[in-house]
Structures are given as C-alpha cells and as structure tokens.
Amino acid sequence: MRTETAWVLFFAGLIFLWALVLGVWKWQGMTTSPDGLAHPYVDIAHRAALLYSFATGLIAWFVELSGWPTAVNATAAGAIILLFVVTIANYVRLGLQRETDNQMRNPPPSMRFVLAALIMGEIGGFAVLLAGFAVEQLG
C-alpha cells in the first residue's frame, strides 16, 4: 500500500470515529428533546461525517490506483479531505450555536466564496484522482 493511501485511510478512520462521537451527541439530543429530535445541524453533522468517512475510503482506492505522482495524489486527496473536515466542523458549530436550522436562509456574503471553494476543491480534487485512475488502469 502506498504511503499516501495509508494516510487517506487513516483520515477516513478519524472521520468515522468523529461520526460515532457525533452519533452520541445526536442520541443525547434526541433523548432530551420533547419532540425526540436532535437539533437539525447535530443530525446533519452526524450524517455528513458518516458519509464523508466512507467517501474518504473510496478516495483512498483512487489514490492507490492512480498513475499520478505521490505529490499530485496527496494534494488532490488532501484538498478533498480538508474540505470534508471544514464542512463537518461548520455543521458542528451550527449545532452548538443552535441559532438556525438552515444556514442558507440568510447567508453571509462570504458564503458564495465558500461554496465555490467547496465545488472546485471537492470536484476538482476528485477529477484529478479519477483521471489518474483512468490513465493508469484503463490505459
């Protein structure tokens, strides 16, 4: 296994562990709420962390099977993982603040920049890995 693949899998494991901890927070919110529901952003943080942990595991396979140099694979995967972590952390922040159930209702002006960075980083990073996979595996 390549070193960069091992690191990506390690981060997948960390994100999954984070999801499990967020699940405890969600459960606690559900058991103490009169309607049996956790705050929407606690729920979103938990689900996003679960999904992103498995997505990061998938990314590890593309890193492993890519034909690009280590630096290219590590940079592409690192960008995606960083954006996953920032997104989950933002959901945690919103869950802790309990001020909104929809961050897009009155977004700050910087939201357009953040969303553009997410789009370019996640889609662009994965496109790089997918192209590296295609070059190496499909000839």
Q: Are 87 and 48 in contact (CB under 8 A)?
A: yes
Determine the Cα–Cα distance for residues 128 and 63; give it in Å rounded to an integer: 10
Nearest alpha carbon to residue 15 among 92, 74, 71: 92
Write the DSSP symbol of residue 104: T
Distance, first Cα to last Cα, the chain: 21
Given this model, what pLDDT does residue 74 score? 98
Using the structure block, give the residue that is written with the tokens 């553009």: 116
Torsion of CA 30, 32, 34, 37, to 10 degrees: -10
Structure tokens at 12: 């997948």
Determine the Cα–Cα distance for residues 25 and 30; give it in Å rounded to an integer: 9
Query: In order along the chain (139 residues), what is the average pLDDT of each group of 10 residues?
Result: 96 98 98 96 98 98 98 98 98 96 92 94 98 96
Given this model, what pLDDT does residue 139 score? 85
Q: Which amino acid is at 128?
A: V
